[in-house]
């Protein structure tokens, strides 16, 4: 009689194991390619000819009881991975509120007697440019944090990121009036916060979400950037006019710090580096996640394969994606950091209106990226491999780049008398920009799942460099706020936004690269077998595990 056993932890190879005697494993099916989907197949009684290839996939032929557990769907709602996505979204909200508050606060802090903008700090345009660019300078650390994101515990990297943003917010109102360099240092901390958060989040996504759910997860989680901006811009515009609330503009930074503190209180007990470290996750959901992520050979964080730097830096799809990402982020920096200045200088909006109007394009970006990411995941699930992932991301990216370039290019055609059309064009530009999420941003995560942190670090390292150049160049062009100066800024952004249509459409890819292929040692995983396994099932699996480990060694 088969008796039930307690839940054991076993090690198994999810990709390939070389057997010296293949005829001893009659319930295996031949393994064809390391890039094949690892959807489990039911056991078969057909014997395998000993003359066949000696490479087999273990998780493609599990015992019947275990197979039924692995194949069982675990709905996204409700689930622990959805809760994790919500928590990461809150982290991005806290970071976004910190990075975006300076756009409105700067106009209230500095002297500029236009439409009620009466600040107290006497900063030159060059000094303001340094404060804006300091965030991107801090983001240069992403090259280092990205290299360690796949090795360190993602939960504590996220925690460090939010804490840095809290410290940065408290520094500006307390010390910036004494010297502009304190403000520069605080914005450096904001960049360092972003450098910790983005690679660790991408690494967590590859461990918590199967490939079919990643586009939707990326869209939902990174949508926190827009949600934080949507909240802080109108709120900052209101606080600028309320000198009775903590003297006006300092209240903006205290509020942003409070948001980060609340997020930390929720993240520490609820966040987890991977499903096996989440205490509240169900056995079914954990088996569902690990059974589908196993084929990507992510391995353990403490035992990582060496990073193939030479091959990574010679990868054409990677450089095409980096190029597209830089061109995509270039006009977004104008929209996120300098849009309130444009609304003040050219469209002549008052402070209270400025924050509300500046939030409208951000709302369009959030809605677009959330909807398009879900649509991309739906297309992938419905086509069932008939439409290649590369085709999907290239299509979304081409539409995004073309629409963004057109909408940004026509903005200078409008002035304060036709300001409504200018706002419509800006909203359209951000709506098209949202399509980059299921485009190049999803492609970056899919290129090399075991090295997702490294890829993110390298990519956003270049984004940070061009972000610094963008902000310094913009402040160098816009000296007086004249419409002719802003025309140059928007036309240059339109040209840059259109370039990925050619580059990414030719050399871009969303397929797993050869240098990130599974290996026998990196594919050994820890998986908790379902409690419904019987003793006979476990005896069969134990024989497999032993041979897997002996061959791996």
* Dihedral sign, Cα of residue 192, residue 197, residue 200, residue 206: negative
pLDDT tens for the chain, 553 residues: list them. Answer: 444 444 443 333 333 333 333 333 333 333 333 333 334 444 443 333 333 333 333 334 444 444 455 455 655 567 788 888 999 999 999 999 998 888 888 877 876 655 555 667 778 777 887 888 888 888 888 888 877 777 778 888 999 999 999 999 999 888 888 888 998 999 999 999 988 998 888 888 888 888 778 778 888 898 888 888 888 888 888 888 777 777 778 899 999 999 999 999 999 888 888 887 777 888 778 877 777 666 555 555 555 567 788 888 888 989 999 999 999 888 888 877 788 888 888 888 877 787 788 888 988 988 898 888 888 878 877 776 677 888 888 999 999 999 999 999 999 999 888 889 999 999 999 999 989 888 888 888 788 877 777 887 888 888 888 888 888 888 888 888 888 999 999 999 999 999 999 999 899 888 887 777 655 444 444 344 434 444 444 444 444 444 444 544 4
518 CB-near residues (< 8 Å, 6+ apart): 14, 15, 16, 34, 295, 296, 297
Q: What is the pTM of this model?
A: 0.66
HEC profile of 346-411:
CCCCCHHHHHHHHHHHHHHHHHHHHHHHHHHHHHHHHHCCCCCHHHHHHHHHHHHHHHHHHHHHHH
100 CB-near residues (< 8 Å, 6+ apart): 228, 229, 232, 233, 336, 337
Q: Which of helix, strand or coil describes residue 7?
A: coil
Contact between residue 273 and residue 154 where contact means Cβ atoms under 8 Å apart: yes
Q: Which helix (H) or strand (E) holds 206?
A: helix 180-208
Which residues make beta-bridge pairs with 11? 526
Alpha carbons 152 and 20: distance in angstroms, whole number: 37
Alpha carbons 49 and 456: distance in angstroms, whole number: 45
Task: Count Cβ atoms below 10 Å from residue 158 Cβ, excluding itself.
Answer: 25
CA dihedral 134, 140, 141, 146 (to 10 degrees): 140
Strands 17-18 and 9-13: unpaired
478 CB-near residues (< 8 Å, 6+ apart): 125, 338, 341, 345, 485, 486, 489
Alpha carbons 25 and 49: distance in angstroms, whole number: 10
Q: Which of helix, strand or coil describes residue 114?
A: strand
Find, among 283, 297, 274, the residue nearest to 209 by Cα: 274
pLDDT of residue 117: 56
**Exposure string for 394-403, b = 16+ CB within 10 A, e = fewer:** bbbbbbbbbb
288 CB-near residues (< 8 Å, 6+ apart): 70, 72, 73, 74, 210
Domain boundaries, the chain: 9-63+533-552, 80-515
CATH class (in words) of the domain with range 80-515: mainly alpha
């Amino acid at each position: 009689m088969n008796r039930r056993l307690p839940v054991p932890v076993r090690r198994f190879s999810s990709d390939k194991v070389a057997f010296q005697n293949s005829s001893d494993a009659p319930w295996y099916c031949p393994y064809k390619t390391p890039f094949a989907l690892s959807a489990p197949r039911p056991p078969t009684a057909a014997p395998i000819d000993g003359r066949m290839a000696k490479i087999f996939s273990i998780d493609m032929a599990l015992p019947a009881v275990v197979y039924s557990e692995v194949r069982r769907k675990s709905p996204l709602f409700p689930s622990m991975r959805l809760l994790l996505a919500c928590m990461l979204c809150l982290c991005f909200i806290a970071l976004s509120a910190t990075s975006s508050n300076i756009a409105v606060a700067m106009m209230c802090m500095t002297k500029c007697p236009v439409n009620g903008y009466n600040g107290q700090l006497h900063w030159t345009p060059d000094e303001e440019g340094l404060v804006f660019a300091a965030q991107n300078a801090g983001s240069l650390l992403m090259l280092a944090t990205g290299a360690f994101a796949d090795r360190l515990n993602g939960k504590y990297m996220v925690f460090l990121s939010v804490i840095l943003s809290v410290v940065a917010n408290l520094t500006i109102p307390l010390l910036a009036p004494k010297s502009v360099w304190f403000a520069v240092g605080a914005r450096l901390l904001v960049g360092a916060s972003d450098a910790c958060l983005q690679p660790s989040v991408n690494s967590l996504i590859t461990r918590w979400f199967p490939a079919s759910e990643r586009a939707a997860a990326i869209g939902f989680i990174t949508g926190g950037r827009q949600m934080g901006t949507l909240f802080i811009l109108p709120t900052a515009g209101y606080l600028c006019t309320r000198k009775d609330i903590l003297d006006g503009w300092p209240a903006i930074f205290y509020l942003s710090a409070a948001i980060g503190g609340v997020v930390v209180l929720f993240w520490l007990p609820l966040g987890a580096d991977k499903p096996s470290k989440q205490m509240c996750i169900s056995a079914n959901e954990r088996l569902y996640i690990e059974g589908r992520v196993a084929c990507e050979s992510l391995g353990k964080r403490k035992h990582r394969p060496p990073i193939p730097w030479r091959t990574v830096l010679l990868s054409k799809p990677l450089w095409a994606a980096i190029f597209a990402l830089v061109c995509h982020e270039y006009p977004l920096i104008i929209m996120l950091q300098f849009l309130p200045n444009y609304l003040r200088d050219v469209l002549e909006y008052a402070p209270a209106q400025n924050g509300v109007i500046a939030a409208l394009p951000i709302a369009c970006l959030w809605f677009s990226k959330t909807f398009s990411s879900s649509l991309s995941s739906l297309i992938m699930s419905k086509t069932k491999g008939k439409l290649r992932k590369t085709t999907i991301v290239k299509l979304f990216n081409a539409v995004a780049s073309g629409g963004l370039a057109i909408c940004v290019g026509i903005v200078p055609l409008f002035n304060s008398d036709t300001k409504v059309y200018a706002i419509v064009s800006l909203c359209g530009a951000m709506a098209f920009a949202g399509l980059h999420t299921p485009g190049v941003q999803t492609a970056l995560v899919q290129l090399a799942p075991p090295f997702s942190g490294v890829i993110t670090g390298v990519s956003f390292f270049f984004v940070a460099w061009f972000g610094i150049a963008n902000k310094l160049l913009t402040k160098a062009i816009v000296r007086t706020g004249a419409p002719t100066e802003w025309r140059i800024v928007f036309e240059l952004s339109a040209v840059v936004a259109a370039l990925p249509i050619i580059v990414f459409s030719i050399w871009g890819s969303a397929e797993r690269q050869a240098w990130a292929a599974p290996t026998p040692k990196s594919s050994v995983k820890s998986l908790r077998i379902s409690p419904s396994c019987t003793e006979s099932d476990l005896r069969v699996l134990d024989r497999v595990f032993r041979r897997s480990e002996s061959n791996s060694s």
